[in-house]
Amino acid sequence: RWSRADSGRLDVSVPSMAEDKGKEMKLVTCTAPVNIAVIKYWGKRNEELILPINSSLSVTLHQDQLKSTTTVAASRDFKEDRIWLNGKEENINHPRLQSCLREIRRLARKRRSSGDGNSNTLTLHHKIHICSVNNFPTAAGLASSAAGYACLVYTLAKLHGLEGELSEIARQGSGSACRSMYGGFVQWIMGVKEDGSDSIAQQIEPETHWPELCVLILVVSAEQKPVGSTAGMRTSVKTSPLLKYRTEIVPKRMKEMIEAIKRQDFELFGQLTMKDSNQFHATCLDTFPPIFYLSDISKRIINLVHRYNSHFGETRVVYTFDAGPNAVIYTRKQHVDEFVEVVKHYFPPEENGEQFLKGLPVNPVSVSEHL
């Protein structure tokens, strides 16, 4: 099954904001896109603050394709904070959720006492109800937590009238979420400080920078992954010698990747992306007990990409896989149709069914795993 995306622009938007003074209720709705890493984050040096063992870099996808939408309502009539995810009520006391709520409220109080911005006193005293939905499978290794937490933090910030750097708070929901706070090409700088204040996301280039770049998502399975990223990377940190080696190798890769993106050098961008994906999955295999995210179909896709590229004697398409079997393919506009035909040939659409790789245009946009 396959799907294809067209290109677009990435940003976090605020489609609606309504305030009814009589009832003292405020409602804010925002959307946030998924991001797909080309230099992977895998492993924390501090679990509570979510501080990584290496920097990482991703492309934020167009939010018309893969996105989270979150509405937050604040009212004096609400007795307690509550949250619904994809229509089902979840426990608001989840520690990562609480970290985001606490940090946003702390920032709002700080801004209010320093007289900065237009922090809203009303909403600071009220309980909130949060409702969040994804338009793609949750926890199938399609970066749902990144979009989910980025969206939550941004919506809460809007509710409180907060502007400015928020990636440090989104990071405390899910590491990869900090990168979804920006569109285009984004690095998450690991930072060195113990309090995490320098572990933030930074845009390298905006979404308009590389218009030919496209992304295809080949949906191999929409099922929930057997080992979540959080648990998986915890075991890798404890048991994988190969993961330690990444702290040496990633800084050089980050530099090269930033150069490749700035120069729009697809050959270098592609080689680094595939090598980093492969090393991440090698680390998973090096974890004890081993973690398998790639399926046989994922491996067939990897082989197909290499065969396709060597046929033309250049890198035309590249793959990367997160914590699941679904392939994310980066390519350039001129090769999209051709490669899609090749994929259809080798993986014929199911006869009577949804034929689904969701076609995503890749004018880079992206998000992360979910609440």
Site membership for ligand DP6, residue 279 (CB under 6 A): no
Tally Cβ neighbours within 10 Å of residue 312: 11
Binding window for ligand DP6 (CB under 6 A); candidates: 6-14, 36-44, 121-129, 333-341: 36-44
Name the closest residue to ligand DP6 (Cβ).
175
Site membership for ligand DP6, residue 323 (CB under 6 A): yes
Nearest to 146 by CA among 213, 77, 56: 56
Binding window for ligand DP6 (CB under 6 A); candidates: 19-27, 35-43, 244-252, 284-292: 35-43
Site for ligand DP6 in 48-107 (CB under 6 A): 50, 56
Site membership for ligand DP6, residue 174 (CB under 6 A): yes
Please answer whether residues 184 and 203 qualify as being in contact, where contact means their C-beta atoms are separated by less than 8 angstroms: yes
CA distance 81 to 101: 10
Site membership for ligand DP6, residue 40 (CB under 6 A): yes
* 322, amino acid identity: D
Site membership for ligand DP6, residue 187 (CB under 6 A): no
Site membership for ligand DP6, residue 324 (CB under 6 A): no
Burial of 237 (0-12, 13-18, 19+ CB in 10 A): middle
Site membership for ligand DP6, residue 363 (CB under 6 A): no
User: Nearest approach, Cβ of 152 to ligand DP6 (angstroms)?
Assistant: 13
Site membership for ligand DP6, residue 145 (CB under 6 A): yes
> Across the chain, which distance is largest between two alpha carbons, in Å?
68
Binding window for ligand DP6 (CB under 6 A); candidates: 34-42, 62-70, 161-169, 353-361: 34-42
**Number of helical (H) and strand (E) elements in the chain, helices listed first:** 9, 17
Site membership for ligand DP6, residue 367 (CB under 6 A): no
Closer CB to ligand DP6, 315 or 368, in the complex: 368
Binding window for ligand DP6 (CB under 6 A); candidates: 168-176, 213-221, 256-264, 342-350: 168-176
Among positions 2, 41, 266, 330, the unique one binding ligand DP6 when judged by CB under 6 A? 41
φ, ψ (nearest 5 deg) of residue 203? -75, 130
Site membership for ligand DP6, residue 322 (CB under 6 A): yes
Phi-psi label, residue 230: left if phi above 0, alpha if psi -120 to 50, beta otherwise: alpha
Among positions 230, 239, 278, 295, the unique one binding ligand DP6 when judged by CB under 6 A? 230
Among positions 103, 207, 276, 369, the unique one binding ligand DP6 when judged by CB under 6 A? 369
Site membership for ligand DP6, residue 229 (CB under 6 A): yes
CA distance 343 to 302: 12
Tally Cβ neighbours within 10 Å of residue 50: 24
CA distance 321 to 342: 19
Nearest to 301 by CA among 271, 322, 275, 321: 321
- State the residue for tokens 């993986």: 347
CA distance 8 to 363: 5
Closer CB to ligand DP6, 123 or 236, in the complex: 236
Q: Contact positions toward ligand DP6, by CB under 6 A?
A: 37, 40-42, 50, 56, 145, 174-176, 229-230, 322-323, 368-369
